[in-house]
């Protein structure tokens, strides 16, 4: 009988897991990140209690702390995902091990998805390990468990979307450095340029192009996350004929497409295509 380990963990995924967690660097990186996040949270609590005096740490302060931690985690995800995935295939090509990997019984789908999962698993472990820090927020109130679940689902979606883009360019481009630059360039375009363009449109048109600005800014993960925390934030863009639509309503399908289409293209172009010879 096939065990669950043999069914879900293929040789490619098992090798990646072993190589990533074999050295002491991964546990030390996890420890360092948790220490920094914990000190930031405790430092914020100390300053709030010092400034407020007898009023202490209120639920409003707890909600602001939650926003701060969520934003910090989001920056981590957007920064690390391209770096972890932009070299998974091009690195094998540079080490001249890709051809050997392609001659195994593993399909292109298995190779691409295994590389993607293994690259993102460590980052998800870091984010998931911060749950005890988030428990400080629940001690003082101000945030519901549903919001916490929504934020972690938000992280996972951004990870997979950016990771798929990184794997695609790692498959198409031969050099890891070039793949890394292009992946970060696409990320900057999607998450920075679109936000700046939305602000520019709002300023130039005096708010008459709110819907178009809302479509552009909905691609930005920070704006979409704010719309989860503060539902009224979306009304700044969609209160003219699209009342009830939230920024994250557009963010989710766009990033689902970003997660699926690049991964499918990477699977398609992983193996070289034979040229059909005509008589």
Task: Report how far apart, in Å, the C-alpha atoms of 114 and of each of 71, 106, 107, 203, 267 are.
Answer: 28, 10, 11, 45, 11
Q: Evaluate if residue 276 carries a pLDDT over 80.
A: no
Mean pLDDT of 188-206: 81
Residues 228-248: tens digit of each pLDDT: 888 778 777 776 556 677 888
Spatial distance between the Cα atoms of 217 and 100, rounded to a whole number of angstroms: 44
Task: Name residues whose C-beta falls within 8 Å of residue 40's C-beta, 6 or more positions apart in sequence.
Answer: 68, 69, 72
Q: Which residue has the higher pLDDT, 119 or 210?
A: 119
Q: What's the confidence (pLDDT) of residue 163?
A: 92
Residues 6+ apart with CB under 8 A from 69: 37, 40, 41, 130, 133, 134, 137
Q: What pLDDT digit, counting tens, does each position of 23-65 carry?
A: 788 888 888 888 888 888 888 878 877 776 656 667 777 788 8
Tens digits of per-residue pLDDT, 90-118?
888 888 888 888 888 888 888 888 888 88
Convert the pLDDT of each residue in 39-50 to its tens digit: 888 888 788 777
Residue 169: band (very low, low, confident or very high) from pLDDT cuts 50, 70, 90: very high
The confidence score (pLDDT) of residue 264 equals 93
Q: Taking each helix axis as running N to C, give the angle between helix 221-229 and helix 247-270, from 0 to 180 degrees, rounded to the nearest 10.
A: 140
Question: Token digits for 47?
Answer: 């300053």
Instruction: Using the Cα atoms of residue 144, residue 44, residue 73 and residue 223 in order, give the sign of their dihedral.
Output: positive
């Amino acid at each position: 009988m096939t065990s669950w380990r043999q069914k879900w963990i293929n040789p490619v995924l098992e090798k990646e897991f072993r190589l990533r967690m074999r050295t002491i660097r991964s546990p030390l990186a996890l420890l360092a990140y948790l220490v920094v996040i914990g000190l930031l949270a405790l430092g914020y609590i100390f300053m709030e209690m010092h400034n407020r005096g007898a009023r202490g740490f209120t639920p409003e302060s707890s909600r602001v702390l939650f926003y701060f931690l969520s934003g910090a985690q989001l920056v981590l995800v957007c920064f690390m995902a391209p770096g972890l995935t932009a070299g998974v295939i091009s690195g094998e090509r540079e080490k001249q091990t890709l051809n050997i990997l392609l001659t195994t019984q593993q399909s292109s789908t298995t190779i691409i998805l295994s590389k993607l999962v293994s690259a993102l698993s460590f980052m998800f472990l870091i984010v998931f390990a911060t749950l005890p820090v988030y428990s400080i927020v629940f001690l003082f109130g101000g945030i519901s468990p549903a919001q916490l679940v929504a934020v972690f689902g938000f992280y996972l979606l951004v990870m997979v979307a950016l990771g798929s883009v990184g794997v695609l360019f790692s498959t198409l481009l031969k050099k890891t450095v070039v793949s890394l630059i292009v992946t970060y360039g696409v990320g900057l375009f999607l998450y920075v340029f679109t936000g700046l363009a939305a602000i520019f449109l709002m300023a130039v048109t005096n708010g008459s192009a709110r819907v178009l600005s809302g479509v552009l800014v909905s691609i930005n993960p920070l704006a979409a996350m704010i719309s989860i925390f503060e539902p009224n934030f979306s009304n700044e863009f969609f209160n003219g004929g699209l009342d009830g639509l939230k920024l994250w309503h557009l963010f989710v399908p766009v990033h689902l497409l970003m997660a699926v289409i690049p991964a499918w293209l990477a699977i398609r172009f992983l193996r070289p295509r034979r040229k059909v010879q005509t008589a």
